[in-house]
Structure 1
Amino acid sequence: MINVTYERRRGELETYFDRTAAQAWARLTSDAPVSRIRATVRAGRDEMRATLLGWLPQDLSGCRLLDAGCGTGAVAVEAARRGAEVVAVDLAGSLLDLARTRIPEALAHRVSFIAGDMLDPTFGHFDHVVAMDSLIHYPAREMVEAIAVLAARTSTSMVVTFAPRTPALSMMHATGRLFPRGDRAPAIEPVGPGQLHRRLDSALGDAGWARQRTRRIASGFYTSQALEMVRR
């Protein structure tokens, strides 16, 4: 059961991404020129996306994949290109509208873009889950609870990201408050990797899940850590 903290933060994120920052994110995820700050974020996100996709099978034919927090759909498009049936979910309807315009026509039938909560049980079961920078806004407890909900409906693997708690990242967050509001990322919750790993092992170990690869990506004002979990 997800608690009220998750629900409250979910509402804040919906407001931010669907209204306040919709145009900024549309630009960030395009090839349009951006500020130097946003350019570092774009580069980091591109590298992170490539990492998560690299941990998925090249052939996803016959697989059902959840893109949890899909944004403008870059992960969903690549998964569909590999043959997956993709459920791409995001809180921000405006970003989903943009995603629908960006997907190649030949792949559109493989992707369902849905505005809603990534944890909605009506989406059914999946072979793989990708959650790129969609859980970084929640404290460790709520993050692990969300992953556990997804794990119960996933058969093979989950690749997720979290914001690692480091002195450099904490300093960057404090410095970021000095920049114009339009260049600020939404609030994230840095998590100690050791603490997160212990919580995940405790919550999912008995269910047959094990942590595998992890990789930290730091690019200017973007720092995020990828984590792969597989069902044994």
Structure 2
Amino acid sequence: MMANFRFPKIVRFVGVVWTKESDIAVVTEYMENGDLRSYLDKTKRRAHDGWTVQKYRIALDIAEALVYLHSLDPPMIHRDLKSCNVLLDKEMSACLSDFGTTRVVDDASTMTAAVDTALWMAPEVLSGRRYDQSADIYSLGVILSELDTHRLPFHDRDQDESMTSDGSFTVGKAASGALRLRFLPSCPSSISELATRCTALDLSDRPTTLEAAYELRGLLRLEMRVSGSSSRPSKSNRQSLGNLVGSS
């Protein structure tokens, strides 16, 4: 499936390697700055620097990758969107990776919690109910909180209530919507409000991928003007925009 994707914000498939039939690995393009989760861990001291142009660009890259997946015919759902599946190249442009659980949208899409990582999963997925593309939007909202705090989602949760004896996340608590994302006091209200809408319990209250991408692009342009950064997008962003326009 991954070999069929052609979009600058989807990590490029190169091939497969194996030493035996049961030991097969996918080879992709090399992403110099590793995954987003590791990058945020290494730069925790910069969390209070606020939302830079770089953060807005990463958020927009993720949203545009989702627009591409959700605009395919038939639409695709990533289903495993989390910060460690977002890879960063030498220019700090973000690409989605790990499409092992990606599926075509149908009328009966369900998935067990064991397939995914609970911290990023939408409540409807955790509880085994039917879901659609908005499940990816929920995950995007969670990643926005990570970009703000540089911490894992729900990092301040009460461990006595939210963790089991073996340290695993209590799926039931997340599925009920009892947990709420946290943001730094310095987080722009535009970001915290977007993330809150993305993680709404009612699927109809979540923005579409196009709406989220449009909003993030506007916020990026505003930050560029305020900070005096170049308004010219990188080569990968220009290609991304062209592909999105061409597919609309």
Answer whether TM exceeds 0.5 for this pair: no
Q: Which structure has the bigger radius of gyration?
A: 2
Q: What is the TM-score when the length of structure 2 is the normalising length?
A: 0.27
Q: Which structure shows the higher strand fraction?
A: 1
Q: What is the TM-score when the length of structure 1 is the normalising length?
A: 0.28
